[in-house]
Structure 1
Amino acid sequence: MKKPNGIYVSPTQFAKFGQGRRAAKPLTRQIATRDRRPDFNALGAFLPNPDPVLKAQGKDIKIYRELRTEPQVGGNIRRRKGAVKALEWGIEKKNAKRRAVSLIEGVFHDLPLKRIISEMLDATLYGYQPMETLWEAAAGHLTPTAVIGKPPEWFHFDNENRLRFLTRESRREGELLPPYKFLLPRQEATYDNPYGFPDLSMVFWPTVFKKGGMTFWLDFSEKYGGAWAVGKLPRNTLEDEIEAFADRLTDMIQDAVAVIPDDTSVEIKEAGGKGASADIFERLLMFCRSEVNFALLGQNQASEASSTNASAKAGLEVTKDIRDDDKSIVEDTLNTLIQWIHHFNFGDGHTPLFHMWEQEEVDDVQAKRDSLLVTAGARFTNNYFRRAYGLEEDDLMTEKAPDAPGKGHEESDKGSDSGPEFSEGEEVFPDQDALDAALEELASEGMHDQAATIARPILDLIQDAKDYTEVMERLAGIYTEMDATALQETLRRAMFVSELWGHANGED
């Protein structure tokens, strides 16, 4: 009898051996893929760009690049890139090794980061922007020496969303790229659309219509914007003479000079009643301008003359949100590069992070308040300055430890070149200063030596005595041996100086 390949986990439930492993297999692989869809028609390994504008035009990203020559589109692109390039940047250590941070900081300072960031931001315009990385082995490390943006139309994605390079040998499927070679910043890329979303697709038709409207507007202005010359000829004038006279009128419009027979006349009539028609073209152009601003900047208030100050400020906040999204694309891409550098030189582990931020302005109100508090005697810690003003840890000097209890001002100020400090408004006594100077002069004449001479018999007694009782018994006997003559003379002189100064400067 064959034994069951399993075990009863309950009186009514039997589980076969290995059933859990087989059940876990679907959890580790994708089920919903393109290859299993009935409506997916694969063109070999080539996945076409689903951009609707490119599909309708039957062209590639080159048509988007041509849009950048239009003044408004080009200006908005520069403004959008400039907002990101103006940010501060740095390498955060996190839990990475100090050697790794030092190496990566050196690499990033050697790279032309402004140009690299500008090329990475082309991903917001075209949806994706391949960046080829060149590596070099030097000083025991493998580091990137250049990061170069390549035209996006040279690449496409396969059915597995892998980037491929279209070569002469493989013009359709493309060549699969090696790892650690191409960075790929993308905007809103998904499984369904690995090409990302290009913002220039939103400005294509408004720009085309604006160019067409401008052409019609120029024709309209030329036709109805100037004066009309009306010539009058006799009724029986021949057709050839009429055409010749019309040519003269045309020349007159250009040169303002004409020679006509005396039996003809010319009237100049101003164009009128066409203002409403001209406004139609102007409104069309302004509408197209607004659409371009909304697509690239997210608002139309900060760039139109009719906007108010409040609406312009509100529009700038929207622009900051778009700037932060663009910044995250740059940060993610450069952090991928940092991971590659760390992998080649230090293996797997914690890596530092590339971070961009806006330099905050110092709050003048808070700074003035803190200045007044310091003047009044308040003391702030370095932690407060770091929190309040966004300073780094090494921007501030190490705080001096407070004086230990029991130490007087004289001991705490010992070694200070600046001398004692007085608070503002404290009264100064010149008499006391003079007296202190006199006492210091007297002390310099040997008061220390005089005191040592007086205490010498006591010190000798302590050294010769056997115990404390003997010291106390002999102490009264040596009092007469203590010579205090010099000390008495010094004190007498000090008292004389004090009394003399008091008589000279005392009040009646």
Structure 2
Amino acid sequence: MPRLSTILGPDGERIDLDELFGPEKAGPTLTGVRSPISGHPAEGLTPARLAAIHRAAAMGDATAYLELAEDIEERDPHYLTVLGTRKRAVAQLPITVEAATDDPEHVKHADLIREWLNGGALDAALFDILDALGKGFSVHELEWESTPQRVVPKDLIYRPPQWFTFDQTDLETILLNEGVTGEPLAPHKFLVHRHKAKSGITIRSGLARVASWSWMFKSFTLKDWAVFVQNYGTPIRIGKYDSTASKEDKEVLWRAVANIAGDCAAIIPKGMEIEFISLKDVAKGAEVYEKRCDWLDRQISKLVLGQTTTTDAVSGGHAVAKEHRLVQEDIERADAKLVSATLTRHLVPYIIAFNFGPQEKYPRILIGRPDEVPLPVVIEAIYKLGPLGLTVEASQLRDRLGFAEPAADAVVIGGRKAEPGSTDASQHGRGPLDRLRHLMSRHSSAPEPEVVDRLTERLAEDAAGALAGLTDEIRQVFDSATDLTDLMARLEELDLDQEQYQAAMARGVALAQLAGQAFLLDELKQ
């Protein structure tokens, strides 16, 4: 009988402890169907045999194809390099966690995922997770550990894809090679990542399916090139003997002609002669093979990286390099989003459910450079627009900065302090102009450090320019307005001409920005 526990999965079902913390389920078996000794179908590969391997894979028998995919990585330095470049581009990207909501419980969930990420288990596995780029999918077995504080994956163990097969019903459901028909994968024990280069069934969507053809044609070219160099890379040796030469003399001359290229030395009787004949334009003949290999390599670069600038020096200068870099970033971003989706959908729910029980919403793991506005711009926008009424969730800023929610008993840095003797109600009702005067008076009425003094003087000069030229009637509107929307409505009631209205609104925006700066100076003083 399975030993059930109070640990629940995301579906609310109890988890079998023997299965969760028991021995590995997909380990190697020397005498079974998961042998660590792999075949090498790339040896002596022909077009007909390669086509047969691809047909078998498309029909569900993918063992030979997956072994071939690994084979060509080992045999082709260019394919190995560009595929590794694409994997490492994602494997070294920053990883962040986004809480489901600002609810304290959801923030705790995100903090647990961050704490687990700090252990490095995912960092160590990311490169192997991206093995799916070439083969269409990758499988990792999860080794869970339980402590009094948490239940999390201790390790993500890479399993060779040829140890798995596909359900013959849909050719999509991945099964463990076990028995005759295969064994279904327990979702809390395995992380399956599918990374399709094209739409269609998984086994036909990997890059290796296309790359295998280029590799095979390139291998033929390399063999022909080697034969050409062997035959024409060194001069042709012709030995000459006269009619009086005996059989023994001819054998001596033949050994000399045969060995002189490799040994670079030989001795022959005085009456014999060896002539060296060099072919013209041998280098040009070799260029045919070199150009073909280079062309095939460029096709691999386009297939894997989407461009060739990363691996080959091409003409076009900075503009072409910049364009190709954009292509590389697009592919990197798409790869990172696919891996993020796999982790968020198939790993995070189990970690959270095992520790907090099933949830309606779960945190997200995000891999990649953020597409959002740069942090300095965000901070400046909050600093300038906050006084105008812009509100932002604190958790969003913490997620961007990589900060966790501070614990109740933690020593914290920062936070807004209330002004002694003042309340929100005392500030409410002041117009922008009145608040600006109030804050400026506080800075000008007391000695401050040198930097704050200079900022205050500059603020006073800017404010004087913004206030200059306002009529008493418009100045009263500024004093009584509570925000820019209220100011706009009050100015429209004055029925000003277009130029006066635009000038007044421009001064209103300037004063609002200055009020924000004054708030900052006020905080600096505190």
Shorter-chain TM-score above 0.5:
yes
1:332 partner letter: A
Question: Is structure 2 residue 160 aligned with structure 1 residue 129?
Answer: no
Percent identity (aligned): 20
Q: Write the mapping of 1:5-404 to structure 2, written as runs, cut at 5 A.
A: 51-52=54-55, 54=57, 59-69=64-74, 70-95=76-101, 97-139=106-148, 141-158=150-167, 159=169, 161-167=172-178, 170=179, 172-188=180-196, 193-195=201-203, 197-309=205-317, 310-336=319-345, 337-344=347-354, 345-358=356-369, 380=384, 392=397, 404=435
1:79 partner letter: T
Q: Structure 1: how far apart are the matches of 2:115 and 2:62?
A: 46
Q: Structure 2: how far apart are the matches of 1:215 and 1:234?
A: 39
Q: Structure 2: how far apart are the matches of 1:325 and 1:140?
A: 35
Q: Structure 1: how far apart are the matches of 2:315 and 2:272?
A: 54
Kept in 1, the 8 Å contact 2:197–2:206? The answer is no
Q: Secondary structure at the match of 2:193?
A: coil
1:83 partner letter: A
Q: Structure 1: how far apart are the matches of 2:456 and 2:438?
A: 24
Residues 275, 54 of structure 1: alpha-carbon distance in 2 compared, 3 angstrom cutoff: farther
Q: CA deviation at 1:100?
A: 1.4
Q: How many residues align?
A: 361
Q: CA deviation at 1:121?
A: 0.5
Kept in 1, the 8 Å contact 2:62–2:203? The answer is no
Q: CA deviation at 1:79?
A: 0.6
Residues 263, 82 of structure 1: alpha-carbon distance in 2 compared, 3 angstrom cutoff: same
Kept in 1, the 8 Å contact 2:132–2:206? The answer is yes
Residues 109, 286 of structure 1: alpha-carbon distance in 2 compared, 3 angstrom cutoff: same
Q: Structure 2: how far apart are the matches of 1:165 and 1:318?
A: 37
Q: Structure 1: how far apart are the matches of 2:95 and 2:225?
A: 47
The root-mean-square deviation of aligned C-alpha atoms, in Å, is 4.0
Q: Structure 2: how far apart are the matches of 1:326 and 1:122?
A: 12
Deviations 1:126-146 (A, max 9, x none): 111112222333336433222
Deviations 1:333-360 (A, max 9, x none): 1102112223332322111111123268
Q: Which residue of structure 1 aligns with residue 466 of structure 2? A: none
Q: Secondary structure at the match of 2:334?
A: helix
2:365 partner letter: F
Q: Structure 2: how far apart are the matches of 1:111 and 1:173?
A: 36
Q: Which residue of structure 2 aligns with residue 440 of structure 1? A: none
Kept in 1, the 8 Å contact 2:252–2:268? The answer is no
Query: Taking structure 1 as the reference length, what is the TM-score of the superposition?
Result: 0.61
Query: Taking structure 2 as the reference length, what is the TM-score of the superposition?
Result: 0.59
Q: Secondary structure at the match of 2:64?
A: coil
Kept in 2, the 8 Å contact 1:131–1:182? The answer is yes
Q: CA deviation at 1:383?
A: 9.5
Deviations 1:373-425 (A, max 9, x none): xxxxxx845799999xxx94686966899994664866446776527824799
Q: Structure 2: how far apart are the matches of 1:191 and 1:311?
A: 29
Residues 129, 405 of structure 1: alpha-carbon distance in 2 compared, 3 angstrom cutoff: closer
Q: Which residue of structure 1 aligns with residue 33 of structure 2? A: none
Q: Secondary structure at the match of 1:237?
A: coil
- Which of the residues 437, 453, 458 maps onto 1:421? 453
Deviations 1:99-128 (A, max 9, x none): 212222212222422222111111111111
Greater Cα shift, 316-325 or 253-262: 253-262
Residues 399, 140 of structure 1: alpha-carbon distance in 2 compared, 3 angstrom cutoff: closer
Q: Secondary structure at the match of 2:312?
A: coil
Kept in 2, the 8 Å contact 1:214–1:285? The answer is yes
CA radius of gyration, larger in: 1
Residues 422, 149 of structure 1: alpha-carbon distance in 2 compared, 3 angstrom cutoff: closer
Residues 193, 256 of structure 1: alpha-carbon distance in 2 compared, 3 angstrom cutoff: closer
Q: Which runs of 5+ in 1 are unaligned?
A: 1-48, 372-378, 427-508
Greater Cα shift, 281-290 or 208-217: 208-217
Q: Structure 1: how far apart are the matches of 2:439 and 2:96?
A: 46
2:87 partner letter: K
Residues 274, 53 of structure 1: alpha-carbon distance in 2 compared, 3 angstrom cutoff: farther
Q: Structure 2: how far apart are the matches of 1:311 and 1:330?
A: 29
2:367 partner letter: M
Q: Secondary structure at the match of 1:421?
A: helix
Q: CA deviation at 1:53?
A: 7.6
Q: Structure 1: how far apart are the matches of 2:89 and 2:438?
A: 56
Q: Which residue of structure 1 aligns with residue 516 of structure 2? A: none
